[in-house]
Structures are given as C-alpha cells and as structure tokens.
Amino acid sequence: MKPINPLRLLLICVILAVAGWSATVVTSRYGIATPVLPLTALATMGVIVIITLILGLRVLKWRNSHKPDSKDRKTQLDPLLAARTLVLAQACAYAGTVLLGWHVGIFLDQLRIWSLRSDQGITWLALAMAGGGLVMIVVGLLVERFCRIPPEDSDTGVNGKKGRPARGEAAGEGEYAYRGD
C-alpha cells in the first residue's frame, strides 16, 4: 500500500468545500433544509477515531517492542490486523477529508449570512462537523505512520544494505507493517 498523499487530501477537501457551498446555496434558494450532518454524527466519528487509535497503538506497541537484533520473537504481529489497521487509518483520513471539505463549504456559506439569521445553530453544527473531520484526518495520518516499520535486518538487501528493501524505498517511502508482496 502506498502512503496517503497530503496534496490529494487537500484537493479532495477543496472540491468538497465547493460542492458543500454550492449545495447550501441551492438548498437555501429553494427553501430546503441545509445539508449538514446531525449532532449524533460526532459520536459516530468519535467511535471511529477511538477504534482507529486503539488499533494503531497496538501496532505501535509491537513496533517499539520489536527490536531487529532481539532474539525474543515470541510476540508476533498478526499481519491481517496490521493490514486492517492501515486500511482503517487511511479510510479514516479520507472520510475526515470528505466531512471537513463538505462542512467547511457549508460553514462559509452560513458565515456570509451570519448577522441576518436569528438561529446560528446550523453554522455551529457545520463548524463542529468540520472539526470532527479534522480530528479524523489527524488520527488517520498518525495511525498510518504507526504502521510503518523498518526493513528486517535478517535479510540481505540490495546495494550491500542490511535488511530487506521496502517497497517504494527508492522514492523515500517506508514499508508498512503488512508485507504483502
């Protein structure tokens, strides 16, 4: 798996901010409710963040306790758990990007008419959802970083380097905990 490209996340966020802003303009023009998630979505986002963080900390704990020169290899990391943790972290970052972009667009439109509205609940809700999306992005990228491990020292690499070369090592990318060649 390749690491998440932050520029791709930024592009997705900008595209969805424009889409969220456009949807809010259209819905307000026709008197339809603003397309913002309900407050209960923050609880769901929190559960996803906590699960991602717990699984990521398990991988990080294994990575920090697993020394390449250590003879004690009793504790093995389940490769399926590591792969699922990595996929969950990346999905968390992408979902957070979608939520952040959409709700920033809504927030910007609502901010334009801030002084005209008597009820600013939608504006604060959109801001809270954008904040939740930002937390999801940060946790997703952090856990993705937890899943990187150095190459093994027991194998002989290329160019006389010790360890197995990581996929994408020439491009400066690290290898993830899941080694699915």
Domain for residue 2, yes or no? no
Q: What is the mean pLDDT of the chain?
A: 82
Range 28-34, long-range pairs (CB < 8 A, 24+ positions): 28/109, 34/106, 34/110, 34/122, 34/126
Domain for residue 74, yes or no? no
- pLDDT of the residue at 79: 85
Using 50, 70 and 90 to split pLDDT, how confident is the model at 161? low
Q: Which residue has the higher pLDDT, 67 or 36?
A: 36
pLDDT tens column, 61-107: 888 886 665 555 567 778 898 899 999 999 999 999 999 999 999 99
Domain for residue 14, yes or no? yes
Tokens standing for residue 24: 């809010």
CA of 146: how far to CAs of 57, 83, 85, 115, 175, in Å? Answer: 7, 12, 10, 45, 11
Domain for residue 3, yes or no? no
Domain for residue 67, yes or no? no
